[in-house]
Amino acid sequence: MTKTTKKTFPVLQMGCAACAARVEATVRKQEGVVSASVNFATANLVVEYDAAATNPEKMREAVQNAGYDLLIDDDNDEHPFGGTGGIHQKAFKRLQIKTIGAIFLSVPVVIIGMFFMHIPFANYIMWVLSTPVVFYFGKDFFVNAWKQARHRATNMDTLVALSTGIAYSFSLFNTLFPEFWLERGIAPHVYFEASSVIISFILLGRLLEEKAKGKTSLALKKLMGLQPNTVTVVRNAQYEDVLLKKVKINDVILVKPGEKIAVDGCVAEGSSYVDESMLSGEPVPVLKQANDKVFAGTINQKSSFLFRAEKVGATTLLAQIIRMVQEAEGSKAPVQKLVDKIAGVFVPVVMGIAVLSFVAWMVFGGSDGFTHGLLALVTVLIIACPCALGLATPTAVMVGIGKGAENGILIRDAESLETAKKINAIVLDKTGTITEGKPIVTDVFGLAHDIEKQALLSLEKQSEHPLAEAIVRYLEASAVESRTITVESITGKGVKGTIDGQLYFAGNEKLLTENGITPDDPLLAEARQFSRQSKTVVWLANAQKSLAVVAIADRMKETSRTAVNQLQSAGIEVYMLTGDNEATAREIALQAGISHYQAEVLPQQKAEFVKTLQSGGKTVAVAGDGINDSAALAQADLSIAMGRGSDIAMDVAQMTIISSDLTKIAEAIHLSRQTVKTIRQNLFWAFIYNLIGIPIAAGILYPFTGFLLNPMIAGAAMAMSSVSVVTNSLRLYKKV
């Protein structure tokens, strides 16, 4: 069986979804290519190929011959999206300059064209101002249209190039040779303002699209940042710093406090607490002792230890998460693909009608056939300009995203808004999403005297256990002062220390019984009750008896129950997935009113669960706040990050709830439904306008009424169609 290589390369100079299809088809035709997929939203090519038959250089040459380019210089094994972020940033800056420049020059053209047409040299002034707009700021439309034409295809760029090009050329002819029309009794109107305004509006829409694209690679880069560049390996009884990629299976690796664990393995010597929140999402670090598993990307917190590498490179759990995020993000399709598909049919039809109307006038128009036919040709192309079509989505998205931001909901792009409307199932992470995500003291029983509080604070302040921090915060907030004492840590059980000659213990029940202390019945009853509520119990005792119990838990947010009810009322099934234990998961699900939940779930299992729901016909949203949620977030139809969580979760997510208030999810879905409704209204009216306007522009009323639409009126109608779309989008402010 032939061994193949799978890599990801950024693609340059794509203008629309049709360009992505062209690059994909070009690469697939190359000898040795097994599969190729181009994602226009991320501007990346994922290709699997036989390295013996082809190579990236050959693929790049083929792509360049098709009119595009491929970036192959980055080390894609380590950085699959290495150069994409910079490319998008440069493209956005370039597009921003073009948009600002086009609008700046278009404004005076519009003012002159509408109010000062009769001032001296008005046409020449408009000609001078509109020329750089059309042929400099708008040159990409003409370049892309030419590329499509070479491959016998059309898209929105084709119609933009034709309508603005003909309007500009017709206006230039009328400016330089006005007598041609005057001799025929027709006023030589110019349409420089139409061509420049069209370019400006479409550039603005493209700017919004590029802004969304520029964020797609950040999550992968941050996930990769969890891997250290070098590790300390024990070889021949010597410590040696080596590059991560040179680590081999069975290497013994030293991990110091605060360092990231480089690869998956098993503890060989020593013990420590390891922060595994990037995997489990749980805030409490896990005690690791001999033979316990450790994973790449997790962070050692307390003590140095040695572990033996078992999985390296692409086989680690972190690498699998990175790959799942990459594949899930790469499968996303841009919302503009729908508009491009519509334009792919709309454009040739409009062009055909324009040419057909010209021919019909030439055949049946008599002596004025050429004049009326040329006017009809230009009028059809002007009135059918896709300005309204191009504005239908971006303007509604601008208003929707702006309104969402006002309400603390950050929305990445139009696709997110469209998808949210279809959501009928949502998967919620527990820690940091349904709960606060920070262990706190919830209950205290028996801690009545200051000396006992002081003893507990003194012990916990020097404890290595992470839960000790919750007790320290609680007691310090109560103005309790600690004392400097010598504390002995008893791994997995607690701590002990002496204050004023009195021995005290703080830890679990086993610590007490092993030291001959029998828990008092009232305290034991309270401890059992706390445990049933899935709370962690910390005991305080002296050498003779138990003194107090403290319950620690991650509390559910006050709004979580309300949010779950809102989602269920909207017909959305709610699921909870957590890496926590069964008892805690059951209790939180009961409190939140969630019927469907799973406990002890790993990141890849979360993504698989989402896939299972999707295969059952569900449109799934995932809400989470941790790195461990990133794969599931990327796999989901709609990914929602809670704003107080990790940056990676927010980068993967299509929506971010700034306040981490779950009730905002229901608001976001309502906003989505209203925005999508507005987008569809805009598209409907844009097409109705064309369905009515194009036949009139072609002269269909002339045989019956003698009416032939003037290109100036067509230009005004085109402008009004754009105004109506923008006005309808602005109505969103009152709807949500």
CA distances from 11 to 23, 42, 140, 217, 222 (A): 8, 9, 17, 14, 22
Residue pair 88/43 in contact by the 8 Å Cβ criterion: yes
Which residues are designated catalytic? Answer: 429
One-letter amino acid at 573 equals E
Whether the per-residue pLDDT at 505 is higher than 90: the answer is yes
pLDDT digits (tens, 9 = 90+) for 103-116: 899 888 888 877 78
Given this model, what pLDDT does residue 613 score? Answer: 92
Tell me the DSSP string of 514-542: HTT-PPPHHHHHHHHHHHHTT-EEEEEEE
Given this model, what pLDDT does residue 626 score? Answer: 59
Whether the per-residue pLDDT at 512 is higher than 70: the answer is yes
Whether the per-residue pLDDT at 575 is higher than 90: the answer is yes
Contacts of 554 (CB under 8 A, 6+ apart): 283, 431, 435, 436, 437, 438, 439, 440
What does pLDDT average to over the chain?
78
Report how far Cα 233 is from the mean position of its chain's Cα atoms. 38
Region 295-317: mean pLDDT is: 83
How many whole angstroms separate alpha carbon 126 and alpha carbon 193?
A: 7
Ranges 214-223, 413-422, 715-724, most confident: 413-422
59 versus 345: the higher-pLDDT residue is 59
Alpha helices (H) in 39-134, listed in sequence order: 56-65, 84-115, 122-132
Identify the weakest region by mean pLDDT among 56-65, 216-225, 582-591, 672-681. 216-225
- Token code pair at residue 641: 């990050």
Identify the weakest region by mean pLDDT among 148-162, 165-179, 448-462. 148-162
156 versus 384: the higher-pLDDT residue is 384
Ranges 19-23, 185-189, 442-446, 556-560, most confident: 442-446
Identify the weakest region by mean pLDDT among 119-128, 165-174, 342-351. 342-351
CA distances from 561 to 93, 139, 402, 434 (A): 44, 54, 28, 9
Confidence of residue 603 (pLDDT cuts 50, 70, 90): confident
560 versus 316: the higher-pLDDT residue is 560
Region 165-184: mean pLDDT is: 83
Q: Is 259 helix (H, G, I), strand (E, B) or coil?
A: coil
Measured from the Cβ of residue 659, the count of other Cβ atoms closer than 10 Å reads 14
Residue pair 553/532 in contact by the 8 Å Cβ criterion: no
Residue pair 190/711 in contact by the 8 Å Cβ criterion: no
pLDDT digits (tens, 9 = 90+) for 364-376: 877 677 778 877 8
Confidence of residue 344 (pLDDT cuts 50, 70, 90): low
Ranges 130-139, 232-241, 425-434, 527-536, most confident: 130-139
How many whole angstroms separate alpha carbon 725 and alpha carbon 343?
A: 17
Given this model, what pLDDT does residue 359 score? Answer: 92
How many whole angstroms separate alpha carbon 219 and alpha carbon 649?
A: 7
Confidence of residue 723 (pLDDT cuts 50, 70, 90): low
Residue pair 277/283 in contact by the 8 Å Cβ criterion: yes
Return the percentage of the chain with pLDDT > 90, whole number. 8
Q: Is 543 helix (H, G, I), strand (E, B) or coil?
A: coil
Region 313-327: mean pLDDT is: 65
Whether the per-residue pLDDT at 216 is higher than 50: the answer is no
Look at residues 325, 212, 217 and name the one whose alpha carbon lies nearest to residue 603. 325
Q: Is 715 helix (H, G, I), strand (E, B) or coil?
A: helix
Whether the per-residue pLDDT at 552 is higher than 60: the answer is yes
Confidence of residue 87 (pLDDT cuts 50, 70, 90): low
Region 636-663: mean pLDDT is: 70
Q: Is 581 helix (H, G, I), strand (E, B) or coil?
A: coil
Given this model, what pLDDT does residue 40 score? Answer: 61
Q: Is 63 helix (H, G, I), strand (E, B) or coil?
A: helix
Whether the per-residue pLDDT at 405 is higher than 70: the answer is no
How many whole angstroms separate alpha carbon 163 and alpha carbon 168?
A: 8
Confidence of residue 548 (pLDDT cuts 50, 70, 90): very high
427 versus 225: the higher-pLDDT residue is 427
How many whole angstroms separate alpha carbon 61 and alpha carbon 63?
A: 5
